[in-house]
Amino acid sequence: MTVITAEHVAIAELVVYILTALATLFVVLRHGFHKQLGWIYLYIFCVIRVVGAVLQILSHNDPSNTNDLEWATILQSVGLSPLLLASLGLLKRICDETTRRVPSSNNNQFMQTFGPSGGLAGKPRNLLQKSNGRVTPQPHHPAHPHPPVIALVLAIIGGTDQASSNVSDHKDGRTETRAAITLFLFIYLALGLLWLITARDLGVMVGAQRRIYFALFLALPPIAVRLLYSLLGDFGHHPKFSVRDGSVSVRLWMATLEEFVVVLLYTIVGIFTPRGTVQVSWPVPGSERPVQGSPRYEPMGYMEAGPQRR
């Protein structure tokens, strides 16, 4: 029986994620370099996995160089942040689009708080609001720390401290890593809650929006398993869940495969989702949400890029 080693997994990741990086780069170029769309984070994730795999292979070929193994372990532990950012970005696209078509914007207001480019975001953005029957830009909001980015920084610092030759840093590193995983857990729960709230807009979603929505539905369980692996590794006491020297088979079945399923799923959706802009179909002040089949209902969604008919 063939024993699966860390080097075998690293070689497989190197091959798979080089090819996937090319596909995600195509998706990013197709949709544009807008972080809130989510796909840019998939490309970043692929780059992280390629670099981590290279370092893992180098550490196997030169065991005396401990820096390669340390950084390979650190990069292995930061996979949750790009996946959560990508998920929030894709969900935010749906929220923004349905909100611009439907005046009832409580859903979008919640998304502004947790989404990749609003509320707790890393960059300010233009918000859209109803004003005198029109959708008009709102003033920029100041940038705030982004929870997934904070968790990412904590994970990197914690991993660095735990790999430090100074034993006194190990305890602080474990605390920082646990804080990062706890924050990832709350972000995941917020993502699931936002997904459930967005379900009320299924009736006004067009095809591209529904594809993204159900892709998120399929991605939530693998992300949950990946998160469980990190929780068991940082809060559990079983050595097989350790990222650094745990069971390679457990990491393969509870982390590596789950990550690839999510990346592949989002990449396929990105390839088949049209690139375009959003149009507002009925800016009626004070009106209620139209229902499908009513005279005011007009699904617009993301239109194919190109000249608009008048």
Whose tokens are 């920084």? That residue is 153
Please report whether residue 131 resides in a domain. no
Specify the CATH number for the domain of residue 25. Answer: 1.20.1070.10
Q: Are 278 and 302 in contact (CB under 8 A)?
A: yes
The dihedral through the CA atoms of 12, 15, 16, 17 has a sign that is positive
For residue 39 the two structure tokens come to: 């796909």
Please report whether residue 261 resides in a domain. yes
Q: What is the pLDDT along the chain (310 residues), one digit of tens a residue?
A: 567 888 889 999 999 999 999 999 999 888 877 655 788 999 999 999 999 999 999 988 888 877 888 888 888 888 888 999 999 989 988 887 776 544 444 444 444 445 554 433 333 333 334 334 444 444 444 445 578 788 888 888 887 877 776 767 777 788 888 899 999 999 999 999 999 988 888 888 888 888 999 999 999 999 999 999 989 988 877 878 877 778 888 889 999 999 999 999 999 999 988 875 444 344 434 444 444 444 444 444 444 444 444 4
Please report whether residue 137 resides in a domain. no
Check residue 60 and give its pLDDT. 85
| Cα radius of gyration (the chain) | 21
Check residue 96 and give its pLDDT. 78
Please report whether residue 84 resides in a domain. yes
Question: How many structural domains is the chain composed of?
Answer: 1
d(CA 84, CA 55): 24
Please report whether residue 130 resides in a domain. no
Please report whether residue 310 resides in a domain. no
d(CA 139, CA 236): 46
Amino acid at 2: T
Q: Taking CA 90 as the corner, what is the angle to CA 152 and CA 230, rounded to the nearest 5 degrees? A: 35
Cβ neighbours of residue 221 under 8 Å, at least 6 residues apart? none
Check residue 100 and give its pLDDT. 56
The dihedral through the CA atoms of 142, 148, 149, 155 has a sign that is positive
Structural domain span for residue 212: 6-121+143-277
d(CA 35, CA 117): 8
Check residue 166 and give its pLDDT. 72
Please report whether residue 292 resides in a domain. no
Please report whether residue 309 resides in a domain. no
